Structure 1
Amino acid sequence: MLFAFLCTDKPGHLQVRMDTRPAHVEHLNKLNAEGTLKFAGPFLDDDSKPNGSLVVVEAADIAAARTIAEADPYYLAGLFEKVDVKPWNWVFNNPANEQK
């Protein structure tokens, strides 16, 4: 099942994001290599600066998805004000549904 992580950065924490980014990217690359990560990227503020994240993963259940979310270096560094983990159904433009 797919789960979306809707992550909101704490105000004034851009430097935490920048300092932690290499570890975060390494973490996502590992999830991607395992086939767990479906896609990810930052939300942007009015000045095009990152202020949150959207991450979609495949996990057995919501508990497993939360474990993945809480292992992210951004989460561990205290970057996020809020992280919502929600079951998600990828309907449109899902490459897994393309005919071969």
Structure 2
Amino acid sequence: MAQAPHPYFAVWATDRADALERRTRVREEHRRRLRDAHECGVRVLHGGPTLEAQDQHMNGTLLIVQAATLQAVQQFIEGDPYVREGVYDSVVIRPWAWGLGRPPA
């Protein structure tokens, strides 16, 4: 199977336990960067915070990113305000094969 010219990646980030104040403080900067991701050579197709089941507080991030390489996604994430401010405890980036619900090209 040939690789797509612009593969997709799932980014799953989990916040540190004490990160809510930092997350809230830089959230607008983070969201601006996601909207302007093309300037970094990636395209964020879907994204949003993950939530605590009991109280719905933000506790992480899930992104679907389109990019030429895994390295491009890694560089983009490394420059994120949440990373810079120490919001995330962990970040996992995986190549992702979009199956159901894929938007039209």
Normalising by structure 1, we get a TM-score of 0.89
Question: Are the aligned partners of 1:32 and 1:38 in contact in 2 as well (CA < 8 Å)?
Answer: no
Determine which of 72, 81, 90 is the counterpart of 1:64.
72
For structure 1, the residue ranges without an aligned partner over 5 or more in a row are: none
Classify the secondary structure of the residue corresponding to 1:95: coil
Q: Which has the higher helix share?
A: 1
Question: Are the aligned partners of 2:15 and 2:90 in contact in 1 as well (CA < 8 Å)?
Answer: yes
Q: Does 1:85 align with 2:93?
A: yes
* 4+ residue segments displaced more than 3 Å: 32-35
1:8 corresponding residue in structure 2 = 14
For structure 2, the residue ranges without an aligned partner over 5 or more in a row are: 1-6
Comparing 77-86 with 61-70, greater Cα deviation is found at 61-70
2:29 corresponding residue in structure 1 = 23
Shift of 1:96: 2.6
Comparing 74-83 with 24-33, greater Cα deviation is found at 24-33
Counterparts of 1:13 and 1:69 in 2: how far apart (Å)? 17
2:46 corresponding residue in structure 1 = 39
Normalising by structure 2, we get a TM-score of 0.85
Percent identical among aligned pairs is 31
2:3 corresponding residue in structure 1 = none
- Aligned-CA RMSD value: 1.7
